[in-house]
A and B are shown apart, each in its own frame.
Chain A
């Protein structure tokens, strides 16, 4: 709680220092969210490519289903590894303006475009999300990057790449950069006797992993049945 107070205090000070007020941030987020709010449901093909040091997996095809306000499901024939955060978690948070405080903290150039940086702090202290930092391309009202700090999973950085469906804020590709801990289970449990460690000695293991999800064949606002969201 004390930490949250300090974070809020620092952000408010910074926000006031550059002359932006909370209502401006809310208005900007409203514009950003307006695009996605027009999507009532969608289904899309996804290619999930996990690049995590301890995990060896080939890219996996999956189908992603979403139905407003919060139904979300990924189905794959094989085993796919996904980030814990739903792809639309940020939009769900932004949709309820009373659920967070928002501040504009500055502007910066991203890939030659000026973007505005906002911080969102959920008001409820029971949510897993502690702070969301988002980079908004104000010319297109699109989120281009977000950084979610959570209680349970550390920090998740998400890069968004938009194509044809940028009017609906539906990305063509998302890159999740996630904090990872070293994978280690006892040899006896893994029945991994007589084996050599696959990790090279003296080699620093990367502390983050990436999951790259490419989307194609969006079908949206066609009325998606609730059947798609039932757990098998």
Chain B
């Protein structure tokens, strides 16, 4: 049983609340769905690439191989890591929402929010602690993805130059030039997922059950992703205003020459979304009626 120690030192006090929130997240079985899903998907992708990776690579590089020969070890741990990141970063927001969408509304549904509010903790501190704890969960989810994808990738396939496949271009990065890019990409992915966690927490503030915020977050991400995928002129006008457009900026870390202006702009848009969502959440949660 975790006991909340109240202390005058605000930093220590805050840390205790965060710890309490982390313990609550770890106590819920749903928090492990993400880790299990990542483990299964990463394992399956590695198995598929091990058994049939060369055919897959052959298929996606066909436009190049009609005129040229690609010499060298194309199927390698770095490529598999990249493919996993590219595939999973679309799905991870859904796994994140599963936990962060429940942070406030879950308390409401169980009736524990009233109990929490009787503690000598302000609503602002409580929300901040939940926000931090939610993002600690996101951090460990991404860390698990990074370790698993890289570790298994290098173990099965070994290192090698990375072919980054875009719909209209190919970039080939030298093996020694990839690790820092992967780590930066994970850092940017973390910021992107913080947008998702703050958005789902915002929805969670307006709901009395967890299903609503989780499903709504997923629906918004799916809708924005579909708009982002379709090359329709009307959608091209909307795309810059969707946070999902800026969430994929991690891919720009794999350009041969980095477009820093574009990267910084997207990072600031993501940060602005985090502050905006968290700010609205704070206002909503402070005025939230917990008695009804």
Contact = CB atoms under 8 A, between A and B. Distances in A.
A181 B169 contact: no
Contact of B168 (A54, A76, A152, A180): A54
A184 B68 contact: no
Nearest to A81: B68
A187 interface: yes
Interface in A20-48: none
Interface string B74-110: 1000000001001100100000000000000000000
B198 interface: no
A187 B167 contact: yes
Interface in A158-209: 178-199, 209
Nearest to A77: B72
A147 to B, nearest CB: 16
Interface string B150-168: 0000000000110101111
Given A83-B68, A188-B229, A191-B87, A58 B165 contact: no
A196 B169 CA distance: 12
Contact of B71 (A80, A190, A193, A198): A80
Contacts of A195: 166-167, 228, 248, 251
A10 interface: no
A222 interface: no
Q: Is the interface of B mostly helix, strand, loop or mixed?
A: mixed
Contacts of A75: 71
Contacts of A187: 167, 229, 231
B72 A181 contact: no
A81 B63 CA distance: 13
Contact of B60 (A60, A190, A198): A190
A79 B170 CA distance: 12
A142 B29 CA distance: 75
Nearest to A50: B68
Interface residues of B, number: 43
Given A193-B90, A193-B248, A56 B255 contact: yes
Nearest to A197: B168
Contacts, number: 136
B169 A78 contact: no
A126 to B, nearest CB: 20
Contact of A84 (B68, B73, B83, B172): B68
Nearest to B170: A55
A209 B244 CA distance: 35
Contact of A79 (B63, B71, B231, B251): B71
B167 A56 contact: no
B112 interface: no
A179 B68 CA distance: 10
Contacts of B161: 78-79
Nearest to A198: B169
B26 interface: no
Contact of A184 (B63, B71, B74): B63
B167 A192 contact: yes
Nearest to A52: B68
Contacts of B242: 194
A193 B172 contact: no
A214 interface: no
A183 B225 CA distance: 23
Nearest to B229: A193
Given A56-B255, A80-B72, A181 B229 contact: no
Nearest to B61: A185
A33 B239 CA distance: 60
B232 interface: no
A27 B248 CA distance: 62
Nearest to A62: B71
- Across the A-B interface, the 4 shortest Cβ-Cβ residue pairs: A194-B228, A56-B256, A79-B72, A78-B161
Interface of A: 52, 54-58, 60, 62, 74-84, 152-154, 178-199, 209, 211
Given A81-B64, A178-B67, A198-B168, 13 more contacts: A56-B255, A56-B257, A58-B174, A58-B256, A77-B72, A78-B174, A80-B70, A82-B70, A153-B66, A179-B67, A183-B169, A193-B228, A195-B228
